[in-house]
């Protein structure tokens, strides 16, 4: 993207700030995530491109970002729809030395980084709805899709894809994933810079990521429990043909949900295969 690229453009969702690679790179000049940023005006899915790049040897810290996805993906085979130039759509490639059961601690670390960046930039408070959603009250503000590959029983690469509704008017759009949905604009009545938001999320994620691998994960673990929407609530977990109902007790260090059923049995629910419903909606 040339450096004189206009910072604002007219879209069907009104005037929007365009993503500017130079701005993003300068905000991340001393960061792992500023080294290899792949930007496309439009592409199928940032997760798919990041996975392709992983297979072709792209380095840890590669970030793929776009204004528009034509085949955006959500969890459990759902699609992720977002109008062009309004929301954040990006994926991060990592190559962590991690056993597969710990991968979802990275999802939690990204959710926490996004939540803190949103609060810091906009003053808006949101919560993490395990396993991968950001919520404001009853409405979904964003979601994370985590995909990974295993080699010799260790993680080979992980792609974390975040879709965050920023300057989008949910009332204008039908059929957007995660409905009922909300956005930062809908909650605050203000537009915010997606360039700055992306920089802030990646900076915070870098610091959380470092902590996870240097024995400082305890603080993160405490925070993702503190911001969790589901703890202490009755939840229903659906995984393939199995349904478990119980009380959400905590999210463990690996990002798994600890659930206690009616007979006092404790279940460790890993992130990948499940869908969670609150038996009563969040207040």
Q: Which of residues 86-125 bind ligand BTN (CB under 6 A)?
A: 89-91
Please say which residue, 116 or 133, places its beta carbon nearer to ligand BTN: 133
Question: With contacts defined by CB under 6 A, how many residues of the chain interact with ligand BTN?
Answer: 22
Which of 24, 28, 73, 205 is close enough to bind ligand BTN by CB under 6 A?
73
Q: Does 146 bind ligand BTN (CB under 6 A)?
A: no
Please say which residue, 175 or 215, places its beta carbon nearer to ligand BTN: 175
Among the residue ranges 39-47, 109-117, 189-197, 217-225, the one whose residues contact ligand BTN (CB under 6 A): 39-47
Please say which residue, 74 or 83, places its beta carbon nearer to ligand BTN: 74
Please say which residue, 50 or 217, places its beta carbon nearer to ligand BTN: 50
Which of 27, 34, 61, 74 is close enough to bind ligand BTN by CB under 6 A?
74
Closest CA to 38 of 12, 6, 64, 3: 64
Residue nearest to ligand BTN (CB): 143
Q: Does 233 bind ligand BTN (CB under 6 A)?
A: no
Rounded to a whole number of angstroms, the minimum distance from the CB of residue 134 to ligand BTN is 9
Q: Which of residues 174-213 bind ligand BTN (CB under 6 A)?
A: 178
Beta carbons of 153 and 164 less than 8 angstroms apart:
no
Which of 46, 86, 183, 228 is close enough to bind ligand BTN by CB under 6 A?
46
Please say which residue, 92 or 217, places its beta carbon nearer to ligand BTN: 92
Rounded to a whole number of angstroms, the minimum distance from the CB of residue 199 to ligand BTN is 17
Q: Does 272 bind ligand BTN (CB under 6 A)?
A: no
Which of 27, 83, 163, 255 is close enough to bind ligand BTN by CB under 6 A?
163
Beta carbons of 175 and 186 less than 8 angstroms apart:
no
Among the residue ranges 5-13, 54-62, 143-151, 207-215, the one whose residues contact ligand BTN (CB under 6 A): 143-151
Written in H, E and C, the secondary structure of the chain is CCCCCCCEEEECCEEEECCCHHHHHHHCCCCHHHCCEEEEEEECCHHHHHHHHHHCCCCCCCEEEEEEECCCECHHHCECCCCCCCCEEEEEEECCCCCHHHCHHHHHHHHHHHHHHHHHHHCCCCEEECCCEEEECCEEEEEEEEEEEEECCEEEEEEEEEEECCCCCHHHCCCCCCCCECCHHHHHCCCCCHHHHHHHHHHHHHHHHHHHCCCCHHHHHHHHHHCECCCCCEEEEEECCEEEEEEEEEECCCCCEEEEECCCCEEEECHHHEEEEECCCCC
Contact footprint for ligand BTN (CB under 6 A): 45-47, 69, 72-75, 78, 80, 89-91, 132-133, 143-145, 161-163, 178
């Amino acid at each position: 993207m040339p450096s004189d690229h206009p910072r604002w453009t007219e879209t069907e969702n009104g005037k929007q700030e365009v993503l500017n690679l130079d701005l993003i790179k300068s905000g991340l000049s001393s960061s792992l995530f500023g080294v290899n940023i792949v930007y496309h005006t439009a592409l199928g899915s940032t997760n798919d491109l990041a996975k392709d790049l992983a297979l072709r040897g792209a380095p840890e810290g590669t970030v793929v970002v776009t204004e528009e996805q034509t085949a955006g993906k959500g969890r459990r085979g759902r699609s992720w729809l977002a109008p062009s130039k309004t929301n954040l759509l990006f994926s991060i490639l990592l190559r962590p030395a991690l056993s597969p059961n710990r991968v979802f601690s990275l999802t939690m670390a990204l959710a926490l980084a996004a939540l803190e960046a949103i609060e810091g930039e906009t003053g808006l408070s949101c919560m993490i709805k395990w396993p991968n959603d950001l919520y404001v009250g009853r409405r979904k503000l964003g979601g994370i899709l985590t995909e990974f590959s295993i080699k010799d029983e260790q993680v080979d690469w992980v792609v974390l894809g975040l879709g965050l509704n920023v300057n989008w008017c949910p009332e204008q759009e039908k059929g957007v994933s995660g409905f009922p949905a909300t956005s930062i604009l809908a909650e605050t009545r203000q537009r915010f810079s997606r360039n700055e938001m992306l920089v802030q999320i990646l900076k915070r994620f870098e610091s959380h990521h470092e902590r996870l691998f240097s024995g400082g994960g305890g603080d993160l673990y405490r925070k993702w429990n503190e911001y969790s929407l589901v703890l202490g609530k009755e939840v229903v977990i659906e995984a393939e043909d199995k349904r478990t109902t119980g009380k959400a007790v905590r999210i463990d260090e690996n990002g798994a949900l600890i659930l206690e059923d009616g007979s006092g049995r404790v279940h460790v629910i890993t992130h990948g295969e499940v869908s969670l419903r609150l038996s009563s909606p969040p207040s």
